[in-house]
Structure 1
């Protein structure tokens, strides 16, 4: 175990980073050395607010010798160049999902991490919610019996208002459309809960309403998991409605939104978790707690704090970049299936990109 780290840096201060950047300022085992943003006024303001020693508009400043851990919170198409350079310099790196816009780019990040021997992970906000860790324990302990089905939808209307000039509107820069930006949360979450990988998909992907963006604004797939379960995953950038459901032979669970949402269900037997409890008949309800109260909390399930601790203690990150690469391959397989009208194996996508 390392007693202390020399320092941390954050590349990209806005967007999602605004919810959690304070975690680095509060971490007692590493000084927050540097914040970087393309907008100088943003970088300077954030540095002043959090008491960070330096700010810059050049991400290469994070290659400095007094920095051990770097958080990359930049647009998807910038991930590969930044991550590979930092990993080659011996830095530990955490990136926003998706890992990169293409599977080949993801594989180059994975290769750089493996060669450097440093820690490299991906941030997915659903794992900030302690309820999903309770659900994982429920599944592992057999409270749902055998899980055979997953139904999940991740959607909002953001595609209707995204400017054509915005990076999120570019399929080349994001890696696709609504599925890789939204449904990737749920495909990752399902694998996390079941402890199984998606092995094949049959997909549909269309742009029905959002001519201002590249890629799909509506997508869906049927996915086969390695243990035999079948999942149905939907995404949309043109309508509301987000939920996640698990169905087992002894019970079912519904998450009525994103992280922190109301959660209801009935399982076999009594369960006592960190936030979920059931009565003797297996009934439970968790009221919504608000996703924004979970992000950047600095608590036990804070994923940025968890990454810092994984580096310090020499443990694998919660979501290694290898998993992040497979997540992107699943999204690419959905699009290929939509284009070809056939079932696509995830291994096919991974091998083709080598």
Structure 2
């Protein structure tokens, strides 16, 4: 079988890493890159830097990654769909629900593999967490809390922290729990003088009754990326910056101190940090996408565009809730029943190397 011909549209802080990883995958040949602003990081390495997506399509690529600013996702993605090119669009799929739906419909109508770059689903800590939930490690779920904080990234100017960062947490929460958001409430703030919000505090509930909370901002000098899942048997804490997963068990030691024994809560038990494999998430994501294209199995192993639409819809509800001060109910959707495996596989493509990727 001949190598898949790949292209990348957008050579900024994210696109350059897609270029690097695509070059490392067996069975894939990077043949074209495009960016109207040129190649500031010098990643083209001999390839001509094409001016736009139409020029990239003319090279006969089989697949492409869309890594342009969110505001430009729709025209670039639709051009790829018209040309019959399979695409992975960086998250969020689009800046609003209607645009996201148009993209998803275009790829579905052509029978193309359309994926969304929700990278956290490929984080080793969350993969291990999801696998343990599928095995009943925590029993019934009670709560999912995420924290995603850090300094403002100068590369973002077209959307606020909800669409840019909180979409990570919206997507991973529904995926981890296997249940869709039912309602959300939120507060946002503008503290840095920009047009868009730079901090959001959101709470929600899922169709299965799990409650959620999310703290996301561009204001903190401390970078933090954590997902905390509480269940009837204890809690799992995933640190997605380091790829670590820790289990905090409910205690089972009998309390003989009367003042403590009268409290009917949960005591602290054993704490275990799991030793887990830690492949680079972007390598796993692009391997899954290229394998889906190579085997034409639809969206096997990827975050689908329908899922991307669902995430944009929840993010829009968060912004509406913050603007109105009211809880927003989401339209009923098919519940996300968990598969036994965290990400379908196996993926036939494997990296030749796995260099580090700065996480956003």
Task: Tell me if TM exceeds 0.5.
Answer: yes
Structure 1 unaligned spans of 5+: 269-280, 350-354
Given that 1:4 and 1:312 are in contact with CA atoms closer than 8 Å, whether structure 2 keeps it comes out as no
SS of the equivalent of 1:31 reads: strand
Q: Does 1:24 align with 2:22?
A: yes
Q: In the alignment, which residue of structure 2 is the partner of 1:46?
A: 43
Alignment of 1:293-308 (within 5 A): 294-296=280-282, 298=283, 302-308=284-290
Note if contact 1:126-1:259 (Cα within 8 Å) is conserved in structure 2. no
Normalising by structure 1, we get a TM-score of 0.81
How far has the Cα of 1:138 moved from its partner? 0.8
CA contact (8 A) 2:201 2:213 kept: yes
| Aligned residue among 48, 56, 61 for 1:67 | 61
Please tell me whether Structure 1 or Structure 2 has the larger radius of gyration of its CA atoms. Answer: 2
Deviations 1:237-269 (A, max 9, x none): 11134321000001201123x34343322359x
- Residue 87 of structure 2 corresponds to 93
Q: Deviations over 1:2-49 (max 9, x none)?
A: x34551101112212233422222333232110112233448x3222x
**Which of 211, 229, 245 is 1:263 aligned to?**
245
3-state SS in 2 of match to 1:322: helix
Q: Is the 8 A contact 1:260 1:289 kept in 2?
A: no
Distance change in 2, residues 1:199/1:136 (3 Å): same
Matched length: 311
Secondary structure at 1:196 match in 2? coil
Aligned match of 2:337: none
Structure 2 unmatched runs, 5+:
251-268, 334-360
Q: Is residue 80–residue 87 contact of structure 2 (8 Å, CA) maintained in 1?
A: yes
**Equivalents in 2 of 1:94, 1:250: separation in Å?**
38
| Matching of residue 238 in structure 1 with residue 219 in structure 2 | yes
The correspondence for 2:327, drawn from 311, 329, 343, is 343
Separation of aligned partners in 1, 2:7 and 2:99:
23
Q: CA deviation at 1:66?
A: 2.2
User: TM-score normalized by structure 2?
Assistant: 0.79
1:322 aligns with 2:306: yes
In 2, Cα distance between equivalents of 1:17 and 1:305: 16
- Alignment of 1:205 with 2:188, yes or no, is yes
The structure-2 alpha-carbon separation of the partners of 1:119 and 1:341, relative to structure 1 and needing over 3 Å to count, comes to same
**Correspondence for 1:185:** 168
Greater strand content: 2
For 2:105, the equivalent position in structure 1 comes to 111
Question: Alignment partner of 1:24: what SS?
Answer: helix
Root-mean-square deviation (Å)? 2.5
The answer to whether the Cα contact below 8 Å between 2:9 and 2:15 also exists between their aligned partners in 1 is: no
Aligned to 2:36, the other structure's residue is in SS state coil
